[in-house]
Amino acid sequence: MQFKRVVVTGIGALTPLGNNLEDYWNALINGVSGATMITQFDATKFKTRFACELKGFEATDYLDKKEARKIDRFTQTALVASDQAVKDAGLSSKDVDPDRVGVIFGSGIGGLITFQQEVMEFAKGDGTPRFNPFFIPKMILDIAAGQISMRHGFRGPNFAVVSACASSTNAIIDAFNYIRIGKADIILSGGSESVISEAGVGGFNAMKALSERNDEFATASRPYDKTRDGFVMGEGAGVLILESLDHALARGAKIYCEIAGGGATADAYHITAPHPDGLGAKNVMLAALNDAGLKPEDIDYINTHGTSTPLGDGAEVKAILHVFGEHAYNLNISSTKSMTGHCLGAAGVIEAMACIQAVVHDIIPPTINHFHDDPELDDKLNFTFNKSQKRTVNAALNNTFGFGGHNAAMIVKKYLP
């Protein structure tokens, strides 16, 4: 089979650093921290009282008030990001066959805020089952993909992907595969997550996964720093318009980059901890390179999973050294989670956007909040600490790993006719 080439023709972004692609990218390359004290609920009794929230986002600024009430925050952000992406791609009904346009969308947790609210309301009552009729449709993971398709009238392949923090990367890889084998012309893909709530923060606190650096919240997300103590929770949504190259050229679309390939593996090791030698991470990077038909030395930049956890960062570095060998020292490596926090199921697409912009603009966003070298990590690697760096970026690799041992990696490269 002759695979079709797949390109990115539109981007929509809601991130802790900005509610559109331009603001997000400018904050990234300027090393801005998105961490603030939590405003979405009273966190005073929690071990962690800060997160990377969306700033100035009100769903009713974008959506009808009645419509907004019927959907969870993770779907609200998905719809707003999809609107941005469709507009950015210049999609119109005259350019597309709606039966050939799909939506493949990811979330790690889905409507946790709705679930929490409904159960808490029930618990306050007299035991009589009174639930909002929109409870289930607001909560289920697939509803964001469904709502996006209904909003835009797209009737092609439509489903949700869940693989914890690898969800949106897996969704993009699925979309890429559907298009390149000819099952769709265009697919909106990405992910969203909004679980900054009592249940979300309390649950991750109980696992000892979150940083508790409340007095230094702005610098708490510090990947590869010796003093890292856990991740900072983030939220947001991102949508990429993936399109076959021939379809994009036929309608005169602008092209950001080309999707080169992707891979998925499992650690088959532990429910939350990564394989200590980075076995799954190593295998998924090799799988992505093989799928893309690229050699390790073709990669210029890796946006790492880099969550700021003691075990995770070290395992990923071991994997990078194994896969890239001596070329590892020629790479730029950075974790943009140092700025956005960990956006869970939306992390992959939010970081894919950083890779795309790095390829477009030839700038590497930094890993901020570096204060102390970790002697367990190879200090000859270029982690792009604290300041962005200019360099030619022909190809960038994005790593995302999820609880349950799910690993996904994708590669984007400069579009060359």
Active site residues per annotation: 165, 305, 342
> Which residues, at least 6 apart from 309, have a Cβ–Cβ distance to it below 8 Å?
209, 228, 230, 231
Calculate ∠ Cα 351-354-358, nearest 5°.
145
Compute the chain's Rg from CA coordinates: 20
Residue 108 token pair: 């790690």
Question: H helices within 251-373, ranges in order?
Answer: 279-292, 310-324, 337-340, 347-361
Phi (first) and psi of residue 216, to 5 degrees: -135, 45
Q: List strands edge to edge, sheet with 186-193.
A: 158-161, 101-106, 186-193, 236-244, 6-14, 257-266, 406-413, 395-402, 301-303, 332-334
How many angstroms from the chain centroid is the CA of residue 130?
A: 35
What's the burial of 13, exposed, middle or buried (CB within 10 Å: 0-12/13-18/19+)? buried
Cα dihedral 13/306/291/320 (nearest 10):
150
- CA dist., res. 72 & res. 114, Å (int): 6
End-to-end CA distance of the chain: 21
- CA dist., res. 149 & res. 135, Å (int): 20
Beta carbons of 274 and 22 less than 8 angstroms apart: no
Residue 403 token pair: 């609880």
Residue 386 token pair: 């604290």
Helix crossing, 279-292 with 310-324: angle to 10°? 40
